[in-house]
Amino acid sequence: MTTPGAANPTGRGTAAAEVPIDTSSESAVRRAGRQLIFSAFGALRAVKLYPLENAAVEKALVELTNQSREMLASQGELEIRLSGEFIFINQTRLRLALDNFGSFSHLLSVFRTNGVGSVTVGVGVTSKQWLVLLSLLQSPGVDDPALRLTQLAAKLADAGVTAFTLAPPTDHGSDDREQAKERAKRTYTESVSATRELIESIRMGGSPNIKKIKRVVQGIVDQILNEETSLIGLTTIRDYDEYTFTHSVNVCIFSVALGKRLGLSKLQLYDLGMAALFHDIGKSRVPQSILTKTTGLTNDEWPLIAAHPWLGVLALFQVRGAQELPYRAMIVAHEHHMKRDLTGYPRPIRARQLSVFSKIVAIADAFDAATTRRSYQTVPFTPAEVMSELRDNPARGMDPVIVKAFINLTGVYPVGTLVVLDTFELGVVHAANPLQEMLSRPIVRIISDAQGNLQHPGTLVDLADRNADGVFARTIIKTDNPDRYGIRIGDYFV
Amino acid sequence: MTFPPAAAAGQTRATEQLDTPFSPSLVEELLRLIAKTARAHQLYLPNNPIYRGAIDSLRAGFGAIWNEADEITLVIAEGEFLWCDVPVWRDAVGTSKTPDSLPWLFYKDGVRELTLAKGFEEQEALTFLEMIQRARKATADEDDLVTMLWEADFTFLKYAYVDLLHDGSAGALADGGEVTAVAADEVKAAAREPVEQPRTAGIVDMADFDATLYFLDDREIEYLQSEIVREYQQDLRVNISAVLLDIFESQAKPEVREEVLDDLETLMVYLLSAGHFRGVARLLREASQSAARASDMTADQRERLSHLPDRLSSPEVLSQLIQSLDASATPPTREELEDLFDQLRPSALATVFQWLGKLQDDGVRTVLTGAAERLASTNTTELIRLIHSADRDVSGEAVRRAGSAKAQAAVAALGRVLSDPEPARRLLAAQALTEIGSAGALQALERALEDADRDVRIHVARTVMAREHRPALARLDAVVKGKAVRAADRTEKMVFFEAYGTMCGDGGVAHLDALLNGRSLLRYREDSEMRACAAIALGRIGTDKAIAALRKAAVEKDVIVRNAVARALRGDARGSDVAGAAAE
Domain spans of chain A, in order of start: 22-167, 173-409, 418-492
Q: State how far the Cα of A177 lies from the Cα of A327, in Å rounded to an integer.
A: 37
Largest Cα–Cα separation, chain B: 151
**Using the 8-state DSSP alphabet, how is residue A462 labeled?**
E
pLDDT at residue number A140? 72
- B258 lies within 8 A of chain A by CB: no
Measured in angstroms, the CA of A117 and the nearest CA of chain B are apart by 23
Q: Is A85 helix (H, G, I), strand (E, B) or coil?
A: coil
**Cβ B204–A477 below 8 Å, yes or no?**
yes
Q: Which residue has the higher pLDDT, A434 or B211?
A: A434
Report the side by side order of strands in the sheet with A118-121: A92-93, A86-89, A79-83, A118-121, A164-167
Q: State how far the Cα of A253 lies from the Cα of A220, in Å rounded to an integer.
A: 7
Candidate from B143, B256, B262 with C-beta closest to A214: B143
DSSP B37-97: HHHHHHHS-TT-HHHHHHHHHHHHHHHHHHTT-SEEEEEE-SSEEEETTEEEEEEPTTTTT
Mean of the per-residue pLDDT values for chain A? 84
Closest CA to A189 of B18, B179, B175: B175
User: Model confidence over A324-334: pLDDT tens digits?
Assistant: 789 999 999 99
Nearest CA in chain B to A432: B211
Q: State how far the Cα of A137 lies from the Cα of A114, in Å rounded to an integer.
A: 7
**Cβ A215–B147 below 8 Å, yes or no?**
yes
Measured in angstroms, the CA of B139 and the nearest CA of chain A are apart by 9
Nearest CA in chain B to A303: B251
For residue A15, the tally of other CB atoms under 10 A from its CB is: 11
pLDDT at residue number B398? 94
pLDDT at position A179 over 90: no
Measured in angstroms, the CA of A341 and the nearest CA of chain B are apart by 16
**Cβ B182–A486 below 8 Å, yes or no?**
yes
Q: What is the mean pLDDT of residues A147-173?
A: 85
Establish, for the pair of chains A and B, how many residue pairs have beta carbons separated by less than 8 Å: 302
Q: What is the mean pLDDT of residues B230-258?
A: 94
Candidate from A8, A476, A486 with C-beta closest to B180: A486
CB contacts under 8 A, A 455-484 vs B, are 455-457, 476-481, 484
Closest CA to B200 of A380, A420, A476, A385: A385
Candidate from A13, A25, A402 with C-beta closest to B69: A13
User: Model confidence over B153-165: pLDDT tens digits?
Assistant: 998 999 998 888 7
CB A336 within 8 A of CB A365: yes
All residues of chain A having their beta carbon less than 8 Å from the beta carbon of residue B113 are: 9
CB contacts under 8 A, A 81-140 vs B, are 98-99, 102
Q: If you average pLDDT over each of A317-326, B16-25, B516-525, which comes out highest? A: B516-525
Percent of chain B with pLDDT over 70: 86
**Cβ A13–B259 below 8 Å, yes or no?**
no
pLDDT at residue number B140? 83
**Using the 8-state DSSP alphabet, how is residue A51 labeled?**
-
For residue B333, the tally of other CB atoms under 10 A from its CB is: 12
Task: Indicate which of B26, B243, B261, B285 best probes the interface with A, i.e. most A CBs within 10 Å of its own CB.
Answer: B243
pLDDT at position B480 over 60: yes
**Cβ A19–B70 below 8 Å, yes or no?**
yes
pLDDT band for position B15 (cuts 50, 70, 90): very low
- B193 lies within 8 A of chain A by CB: yes
CB contacts under 8 A, B 161-180 vs A, are 161-163, 165-166, 169-177, 179-180
Q: Which residues contact B460 (CB under 8 A, 6 or more apart)?
A: B430, B445, B446, B448, B449, B451
Percent of chain B with pLDDT over 90: 51
pLDDT at residue number A85? 63
pLDDT band for position A322 (cuts 50, 70, 90): low
**Using the 8-state DSSP alphabet, how is residue A368 labeled?**
H
pLDDT at residue number A229? 83
Produce one character per residue of B258-286: b if its CB has 16 or more CB atoms within 10 Å, e if not.
Answer: ebbbebbeebbebbbeebbbbbbbbbbeb
Task: Indicate which of B66, B115, B150 best probes the interface with A, i.e. most A CBs within 10 Å of its own CB.
Answer: B150
User: Model confidence over B308-363: pLDDT tens digits?
Assistant: 888 888 888 889 888 888 887 777 888 888 888 888 888 899 999 999 888 888 88
Q: What is the mean pLDDT of residues A351-370?
A: 95
Q: Is B109 helix (H, G, I), strand (E, B) or coil?
A: coil
Q: If you average pLDDT over each of B372-381, B409-418, B567-576, which comes out highest? A: B409-418
Identify whether A346 is preceded by a cis peptide bond (ω within 30 of 0): yes
All residues of chain A having their beta carbon less than 8 Å from the beta carbon of residue B208 are: 412, 440
Architecture of the A173-409 domain = Orthogonal Bundle (1.10)
Measured in angstroms, the CA of B269 and the nearest CA of chain A are apart by 11
pLDDT at position B198 over 60: no
**Residues facing residue B91 across a β-bridge:** B2
pLDDT band for position B97 (cuts 50, 70, 90): confident
pLDDT at position B102 over 80: yes
**Cβ B22–A476 below 8 Å, yes or no?**
no
Q: State how far the Cα of B125 lies from the Cα of B131, in Å rounded to an integer.
A: 10
CB A327 within 8 A of CB B240: yes
pLDDT at residue number A3? 35
CB contacts under 8 A, B 53-92 vs A, are 65-73, 84
pLDDT at residue number B209? 46
**Residue B391 dihedral angles phi and psi, to the nearest 5°:** -75, 115
Measured in angstroms, the CA of B280 and the nearest CA of chain A are apart by 15
- Cα A353 to its chain centre, rounded Å, is 26
Q: Which residues contact B179 (CB under 8 A, 6 or more apart)?
A: A454, A455, A456
pLDDT at position B579 over 60: no
All residues of chain A having their beta carbon less than 8 Å from the beta carbon of residue B167 are: none
pLDDT at position B87 over 50: yes
Closest CA to B499 of B445, B441, B440, B453: B445
Q: State how far the Cα of B104 lies from the Cα of A282, in Å rounded to an integer.
A: 39
**Cβ A7–B153 below 8 Å, yes or no?**
no
- B217 lies within 8 A of chain A by CB: no
**Residues facing residue A466 across a β-bridge:** A472
**Cβ B142–A486 below 8 Å, yes or no?**
no
pLDDT at position A14 over 90: no
CB B578 within 8 A of CB B563: yes
**Cβ A25–B119 below 8 Å, yes or no?**
yes
CB contacts under 8 A, B 411-440 vs A, are none
User: Model confidence over B402-460: pLDDT tens digits?
Assistant: 999 899 999 999 999 999 999 999 999 999 999 999 999 999 999 999 999 999 999 99
Q: State how far the Cα of A220 lies from the Cα of A254, in Å rounded to an integer.
A: 10
Nearest CA in chain A to B85: A12
**Cβ A19–B73 below 8 Å, yes or no?**
no
Closest CA to B114 of B84, B68, B162, B72: B72
**Residues facing residue A426 across a β-bridge:** A420, A448
pLDDT at residue number A392? 85
pLDDT at residue number B32? 94
Q: What is the mean pLDDT of residues A357-378?
A: 87
Measured in angstroms, the CA of B349 and the nearest CA of chain A are apart by 32
**Cβ A188–B215 below 8 Å, yes or no?**
no
pLDDT at residue number B181? 59
**Residue A198 dihedral angles phi and psi, to the nearest 5°:** -65, -50
pLDDT band for position A5 (cuts 50, 70, 90): very low
Q: Which residues contact B244 (CB under 8 A, 6 or more apart)?
A: A313, B260, B263, B264, B267
All residues of chain B having their beta carbon less than 8 Å from the beta carbon of residue A439 are: 211, 214
CB B369 within 8 A of CB B400: no
Handedness of CA B443, B445, B450, B451 (dihedral sign): positive
**Cβ B21–A323 below 8 Å, yes or no?**
no
pLDDT at position B288 over 70: yes
- A379 lies within 8 A of chain B by CB: no
pLDDT at residue number B177? 42
Measured in angstroms, the CA of A159 and the nearest CA of chain B are apart by 33
**Using the 8-state DSSP alphabet, how is residue B519 labeled?**
B
- A406 lies within 8 A of chain B by CB: no
Mean of the per-residue pLDDT values for chain B? 85
Candidate from B119, B153, B211 with C-beta closest to A267: B153
pLDDT at residue number A417? 87
- B153 lies within 8 A of chain A by CB: yes
Q: Which residue has the higher pLDDT, A115 or B170?
A: A115
Identify whether B198 is preceded by a cis peptide bond (ω within 30 of 0): no
User: Model confidence over A25-83: pLDDT tens digits?
Assistant: 667 788 888 889 889 988 988 888 788 888 889 999 999 999 999 999 988 889 998 87
